[in-house]
Structure 1
């Protein structure tokens, strides 16, 4: 099935659909700095466009398609500041145009189905009225839509990362969401005996070499150990994007004071903590600067881009390009490919390609 990815960023959502056998034919984002990473890792065209100014039909035209030609539209429009009042009075309001323009683009592109990903709070904003509004808009343009909040750790990602997913289908029943296959912590009790133990930071980092601040290495520390490391290295890549942030002595001393799993002693950085080997990581953040949010479990430093990518389930042959701050932004904002793949497989199991 042919798919277009709106608000594609580095292409995490696209990567999961690629892995599930879909043909991602294009990615759209207003941030041109993402183009090199997206096009290097996908056999697809990157369209630099602001969807408040370019129509869905305009995007299709640039990709060589007509409305109704692509089977699916996927994307994760940011919802910062989304306001129902703004949505009702001015759909182009900068606080909410990204979500409303995703809906508008779906209407104009006429796919058989769509997937929209977002932060979980979009389902509870304004006491649930924003969710009601979004579902009503998808209904108005002809899509029967279901939603669910999914945790990436439940699908084999070594990170607790909850995201809201909306799946809309133009014809037929609502599409079911994938069942969880992993536990999301070593302490979690589940009703299903089939849920596997969680993948952990140790699973993600075990074969990557130790680094000092500012150091870069291009050789693995060992052969892959375990299913997750083998999956990340399945195409036999060289090690890339593995450079540590170049911390000064003061930062290193702060990190040294934190035991694994503890917060790093900052007065104004409450989210900075040292990762614990034996559990999935907390939700990875983007960050506008080449700084760090999480410290390595044993090295006194922040994470390399490759370590961030491992926590997100990007395979090691997925190369991140551009300035380091942009690479951190791309890895922090992305949909984990293994989570995306689980959703994509569920869709293909329930929806036949359009003919």
Structure 2
């Protein structure tokens, strides 16, 4: 099935759908800095465009398609500041057009189905009225839509990352979201005895070499240990993007004083934390600068881009390009490919070929 990725960023959704056997024909994003990473890792065109200024038809023209040609549209439009008041009275309000223009673009591209990913908060904003509004909007353009909040850790990603997914289909008939097969935490052994143990930070980092602040290495420290590391290295491309942030002595000392699993002592950075090997990581964030949010469990430093990519389930042959701040942004904002693949597999299983 042919798919277009809107608000594609680094291409996490695209990666998961391609792993499931789909043909991603293009990615659209207003950030031109994402183009090098997207095009290097996908046999698809990157369209730099602001979907508040161009139509879905314009995008299709650039890619050589007509409305109705594509099977699916996927995307994760940001929803920061979305309000029904703005959506109803000033549709051009910057707080709203990212989400509402996803709806508009789906209507203009006219696929058989769509997948929209977002933060879980979108399902409860304004006491659930935003959710009702979105479902009504999708219904108006012809799609019966189901939604669920999924945790990436349940699908084998070594990170607790909850995201809302909307799947709309013209054919109707409902949609069943995939069941997870992993536990979120070791503490869930009783409640989820039929699931596999969670994938952890150790599973993600175990074969990667230790780094000093500012240091880069291009050789693995060990052979892959376990299913996850083996899968991450299956492409045989070697180790890339493994450079540590270049901290000063003050930052290094703060990390050194912090035990694994504890918050790093900052007055204004409550989310900075030192990871622990034995559990999945907390939700990875998108750094606006080449700084750090999480510190390595044993090295006194922040994470390399490759370590961030491992926590997101990007395989090692997925190379991130461009300024380091953009690489951090891309890895932090991305949909984990393993989670995207689980949704993609479920769509394929529940789609009757035309």
- Which residue is equivalent to 1:78? 78
2 CA distance for matches of 1:237 and 1:36?
18
Match of 1:172 in 2: 172
Q: Which residue of 2 aligns with 1:140?
A: 140
Q: Give 1:237 shift.
A: 1.5
Residues 302-335 of structure 1: per-residue CA shift (max 9 Å, x gap): 0000000000000000000000000000000000
Distance in 2 (alpha carbons) for counterparts of 1:209 and 1:93: 47
Is 1:183–1:190's contact at 8 Å kept on the other side of the alignment? no
Q: SS at the partner of 2:252?
A: helix
* CA distance, structure 1, for counterparts of residue 226 and residue 94 of structure 2: 46
Matches within 5 A, 1:167-246: 167-189=167-189, 191-246=191-246
Residue of structure 1 in register with 2:265 after alignment: 265
What SS class does the counterpart of residue 199 from structure 1 fall into? coil
Q: Which residue of 1 aligns with 2:254?
A: 254
Q: CA deviation at 1:193?
A: 3.6
State the match for 2:52 in structure 1. 52
Give the equivalent residue in structure 2 for 1:114: 114
What is the distance in 1 between the residues matched to 2:211 and 2:167? 42
1:249-307 Cα distance to aligned partner (Å, 9 max, x none)? 00000000100000111111110010000000000000100000000000000000000
Question: Runs in 1 of length 4+ with deviation above 4 angstroms?
Answer: 189-192
1:92 deviates by: 1.6
Structure 2 distance, partners of 1:109, 1:169, is: 14
Hey, what does 1:17 align to over in structure 2?
17
Query: In 2, are the aligned partners of 1:51 and 1:101 still within 8 Å (CA)?
Result: yes
Partner of 2:6: 6
Q: Distance in 2 between matches of 1:176 and 1:14?
A: 21
Instruction: Work out the CA distance in 2 between the residues paired with 1:190 and 1:22.
Output: 37
Q: Check conservation: 1:254, 1:265, Cα contact below 8 A.
A: yes
Once the two structures are superposed, residues 226-265 of structure 1 have per-residue CA deviations (whole angstroms, 9 ceiling, x without a partner) of: 0000000011121000000000100000000100000111
Question: What are the ranges of 5 or more consecutive residues in structure 1 without an aligned counterpart?
Answer: none
Contact 2:305/2:328 (8 A) holds in 1: yes
Contact 2:289 2:325 survives alignment (8 Å): yes
Q: Which residue of 2 aligns with 1:130?
A: 130
- Note if 1:66 corresponds to 2:66: yes
- Report the 3-state secondary structure (helix = DSSP H, G, I; strand = E; otherwise coil) of the residue aligned with 2:188: coil
Instruction: From the superposition, tell whether residues 258 and 192 of structure 1 become closer, same or farther in structure 2 (CA, over 3 Å).
Output: closer
Give, in whole Å, the separation in 1 of the partners of 2:224 and 2:174. Answer: 40
Distance 1:331 1:352 in 2: 34
What does residue 38 of structure 1 align with?
Answer: 38
The alignment partner of 2:187 has SS state of coil
Q: Which residue of 2 aligns with 1:324?
A: 324
Kindly indicate whether the alpha-carbon contact (under 8 Å) linking 1:260 and 1:297 is maintained by their aligned counterparts in 2.
yes
Task: Report deviation, 1:172.
Answer: 2.9
Unmatched runs of 5 consecutive residues or more in structure 2? none
Give deviations 1:127-181, integer Å, cap 9, x for gaps. Answer: 0000000000000100000000000000000000000000000013111101011
Match of 2:285 in 1: 285
Mapped partners of 2:183, 2:219: distance in 1? 32
Q: CA deviation at 1:339?
A: 0.2
The DSSP-based 3-state class of the residue aligned with 2:147 is: strand
Per-residue deviation, residues 88-133 of structure 1 (Å, max 9, x unmatched): 1122211110000000000111100000000000000000000000
* Aligned equivalents of 2:161, 2:137: Cα separation in 1: 27
Aligned mates of 1:188, 1:282 — CA distance in 2: 16
Report if the CA contact (8 A) 2:72-2:114 is conserved: yes
Distance 2:192 2:202 in 1: 25
User: Could you tell me the TM-score, scaled by structure 2's length?
Assistant: 0.99
1:194 offset after TM fit, Å?
A: 2.7
Equivalent position SS for 1:73? strand
TM-score of the aligned structures, taking structure 1 as reference length? 0.99
